[in-house]
Amino acid sequence: MSDDLIKKKYNKKIKLLNNYNKKYYDQNISEVSDTIYDNLKREIINLEKKYNFLKSLNSPQVNVGYKPSKNFKKIAHRAPMLSLANAFNEDDLINFEKKIINFLNKKKDYQIEYSAEPKIDGISASLIYKNGKFITGLSRGDGKEGEDITENLKTIKDIPPSILNKNFPQEIDIRGEVFIKNSDFKKLTNKFANPRNAASGSLRQKDSKETKKIPLNFIAYTFGHERGLKIETQNEFLEKLEMWGFKTNPFNKTIKGIKNLIKNYNDIEKKRDELDFDIDGIVYKINNFGLQKRLGNIANAPRWAIAHKFSANSSISKIKKIEIQIGRTGALTPVAKIKPVNIGGVVVSNATLHNEDEINRKDIRIGDTVLIERAGDVIPHVISVDLNLRDKNSKKFIFPKNCPSCGSKTVKDFNLTTKKEDSVRRCSRDGYECEKMAIEKIKHFVSKEALNIEGFGKKIVEKFWDLKLIRLPQDIFKLDFNKIENLEGWGQLSVANLKYSIELRKNISFEKFIFALGIRHIGLENAKLLSKNLKSLKNFLSLSNKNNLYELLNIDGIGETQINSIKNFFLSKTNLKVLRDLEKVLKVNDAKIQKVDGKLNNKTFMLTGKLEGMSRAEAKSLIEENSGSIVSNVSKKLDYLITGDKPTKRKVDSAKEMNVQILTQSEWLKMLNKTT
C-alpha cells in the first residue's frame, strides 16, 4: 500500500476517534461500545508503530480525553491526568507483567505486588488542596488542562472543604471519580440516560445551586502534583485518604500473582449487579511508589498501571410480554418487554428478540427468565433462557402470520444468493398502505440523515399522525400551523421555529432526497451512488419506465437486489403520488459534477480478485478521486479490467472477448504514478 493511502486510512481513524472523544467527554454520549472504542485505539497505535511517518496531535498516544468546554475557565493540570492501557484477558496481563520485569531487569520469578482497584464508571476530577484547604477543582479535559468546576464540586459532601490532619501534605492534587449511585439514579431516569451522563451533566451546570440538587458522590484513588507527601506504597496512600476524610472503593485489594488477579477479577465481576455504583473493570497499579517512579510513563499512559476491562454488561430479568414492532420496510421485529433491570448504568425494560428464527432457535417464551446483554449503547438483546426456571404451563410463542398493524399476510423473501428464505418476516402491503409502516417511513423522511427537519422528532410524527395532520411525507409541507399552535405544549414561538425548520429543508441535495424516500436496500451510500450517476431528479423519475432501470446495472455497488427494490417502489401508485407532490414543493439540487481533470478522466474501470495491500473500497475511491468511474459489469463501455489475486475467470474471459484492456494492480497504479 502506498504511503498516501496509509496516511489516508490513518487520518480517517484519527478523525473517527476524535469524534467519539468529543461525544463522550464533551457531550456525555457513548456513541459506541467500549470494545469498539478500544479496538480503534489499538488499530491507530499499531499503525503508528508500523509506520513511523504517521503522527497526529489527536493520537491516543499523545492525547487524552477531549479539549475542555468553552463554558468554563481552562486551567492547566499541575501534573497531567494520564489515560490507562487496557487488558482484556489473562494473556494481556502476563505480557504486561513481563514488560515490567524486563524493564526493571528483574528475574523471571520476581513477585510484583499490585493494588487492584475496581474502576468506577464516572467523571474524573482533580482536587487541588493547599495548606489543607480545597482551593480548585478541575475536570480531566484533555489531560493537560481541565475545566474549572470548583463551585460544582464544592456541593459534593464526600469532598472535604478543609483537612486539619497533620500528616496531610502542604500541597496535593487529590484525584478520583464523581458518580451517582444506582439507587439515587432511579429518581433521575426522566432527565438522564444513565448515571454517568447524570454525573457529567450535573458537573457542567453553570449554576452550582442546580448541581447541589443532584446526589453526587466522590471516591478518591490517586494524586497528581504533591509537596510533602511521605508514603511509599499505593495501599498506604489509600489508607491515608480514609484518614483524611475521603471515601475510597471498599473493594480495593493488594494482590500478588496474575492467577490471583484473575480470581479477584472474576469475583468482582459476579458482584457487579449487587453494587450500588457502576464499574467497568479493575485497575492494577504497581503498589510500590519507588518502582512506579522507575517505570515512568509511555506517552500519555503510565508503564506501571493497566485497566482490566469487564466483558459486555449483562443481567438476569423476566419477560413480561412479547410485542411485534413494524419498521418502515415492513420488517416485523419481536421485542421482549422485561422486568426493568439496571445494565451498565442504564435501566433496561426492552430487549430485541431479532426475528422469528431467533425466537424459535432459543425457544423464547413469555414468562421466561433470561440473560440480557447490553454492550455499550447497542440495543439490549436476549442471550439465553434459563430452562430450569420455566413455568410448567409455559406455551411456545407463535409468530404472527398476519401484520399486527394492517392485518395483511406476512411473508419471508427468498434470497437468491443463499437460496434460502430470509429470517425476517415482513408485511406484504405497500409502505403507506400499512399504518405502522407509514409512520416509520415519515420518521425516516424527517430524520437527521434525510431531510433533517429540526424539532420534528419521532414523537412529533406520532402525535401529528394521531391528530390526522399527516399521512404522507408531502403533508409536512402543508401543515395547519394555526391548529398546531392551539395544541397543548405548543405556542407561537415553537410553531414559528417548526415552520422555519420545514421551510429551510425545502432545499435539499439529490442524494438526501433519494435516501429520505426510504426505499428498501437503498441506504445513504447507495443513495450517493445513484445521485452521482443519475445526476438529477428528472433522471430519477424516468426510472418509473421499466426500460430505464437496467441502466443502473452499470453502477458499481448497485445490483439486482437494489434494482428490484427501486422497481417495486415505482410500481406503487402512492409512491408515484408522493414523488409528484414532493417535486412541486421541494428544490432538489442536481448532483455535484465530478472532478474532470484527473489522470483517469473519462475512463471506466472494473475490479476483480483480491488486491495487495489495498481494500476494494480504497481502490474505488482512488479511481474516483482521479476522475475515473466504476462499472459493475463487463461491457463495451468498460475501458479497463483491473485484476488482483484469483480474479473471476468469467469476467476475465468476457473482457478478452470484448477487447477490454486487462491490467494488473501494478500496471494500474503506474497510470497514477503510484506503487503498492
Using DSSP bridges, classify how beta strands 507-509 and 587-589 pair: parallel, antiparallel or unpaired.
parallel
The whole-number pLDDT of residue 111 equals 93
The residues pairing with 342 across neighbouring beta strands, listed in sequence order, are 347
The burial of 180, by beta-carbon neighbours within 10 Å (0-12 exposed, 13-18 middle, 19 or more buried), is given as buried
What gap in Å lies between CA 601 and CA 581, rounded to an integer?
Answer: 38
Query: Which residue intervals of 146-186 are DSSP H helices?
Result: 150-153, 182-185
Place of cell 503522527: 55
Helix, coil or strand: residue 133: strand
- Dihedral, 65, 66, 71, 73 alpha carbons, nearest 10: 70
User: Is 299:111 a contact under the CB 8 Å cutoff?
Assistant: no
**CB of 453 within 8 A of CB of 444?**
no
* Closest by Cα among 561, 509, 563 to 532: 509
Q: What is the predicted pLDDT for the residue at 32?
A: 56
Q: Say which residues have a Cβ less than 8 Å from residue 489's Cβ, sequence separation at least 6.
A: none
The contacts of residue 236 (CB under 8 Å, 6+ apart) are none
Distance of CA 79 to the CA centre of its chain: 31
Non-local (6+) Cβ contacts of 66 within 8 A are: 18, 21, 22, 24, 25, 26, 141, 142
Strand partners, 306: 85, 284
DSSP 664: E
Residue 442 carries which side chain, given as an amino acid letter?
A: I
DSSP state of 590: P
Cβ 374 vs Cβ 317: under 8 Å: no
Q: What is the pLDDT of residues 347-358, one digit of tens each?
A: 789 999 999 999
Distance CA(4)–CA(466), nearest Å, equals 54
Q: How many C-beta atoms surround the C-beta of residue 266 within 10 A?
A: 9
**Contact indicator for 209, 228 with CB cutoff of 8 Å:** no
Distance CA 582, CA 512 (A): 13
Burial class (CB in 10 A: 0-12, 13-18, 19+), 190: exposed
318-348 burial, b for 16+ CB within 10 Å, e for fewer? ebeebebebbbbbbbbbbbebeebbbbbbeb
How many C-beta atoms lie closer than 10 Å to residue 94's C-beta?
Answer: 12
Distance CA 437, CA 327 (A): 6
Which is it for strands 85-87 and 305-309: parallel, antiparallel or unpaired? parallel
Specify the 3-state DSSP secondary structure of 505.
coil
Where are any strands of DSSP class E within 100-227? 113-120, 123-130, 133-139, 145-147, 171-180, 216-227
Cα-Cα-Cα-Cα torsion 546, 552, 558, 560, nearest 10 degrees, comes to 40
Task: Give me 84's grid cell.
Answer: 490507562
- Note the pLDDT of residue 26: 58
Helix (H) or strand (E) run with residue 586 in it: none
Closest among 266, 265, 260 to 113, alpha carbons compared = 260
What burial class does residue 65 get, using C-beta atoms within 10 Å of its C-beta: 0-12 exposed, 13-18 middle, 19+ buried? Answer: buried
Quick one: pLDDT at residue 617?
67
Place of cell 421485542: 335
Whether residue 206 lies in the annotated active site: no
Rounded CA-CA distance 141/74 in Å is 9
Distances (CA, A) of 443 to 259, 327, 437, 494: 52, 10, 10, 19
Q: Which helix (H) or strand (E) is 110 found in, with range?
A: none
Assign 3-class secondary structure to 15-70: HHHHHHHHHHHHCCCCCCCHHHHHHHHHHHHHHHHHCCCCCCCCCCCCCCCCCCCC
Point out the residues of the chain with pLDDT beneath 70.
23-36, 62-71, 189-193, 273, 299, 311-313, 344-345, 375-378, 416-417, 593-596, 617, 675-676
C-alpha to C-alpha distance for 537 and 530, rounded to whole angstroms: 10
On whether the CB atoms of residues 333 and 318 are closer than 8 A, the answer is no
Q: Residues 486, 488, 492, CA angle at the centre, nearest 5°?
A: 50
What pLDDT does residue 229 have? 93
328 close to 405: Cβ distance less than 8 angstroms: no
Among 73, 74, 108, 119, which one carries the catalytic annotation? 119
Tens digit of each residue's pLDDT (9 = 90 or more) over 288-320: 999 999 999 886 789 999 999 886 567 788 999
Dist CA 139 CA 127 (whole Å): 9
**Vertex 564, ends 543 and 414: CA angle to 5°?**
170
Q: For the chain, how many residues are written?
A: 676
DSSP 490: -
Residues in contact with 647: Cβ distance below 8 Å, sequence separation at least 6, in sequence order: 608, 609
Cell numbers placing 486: 392551539
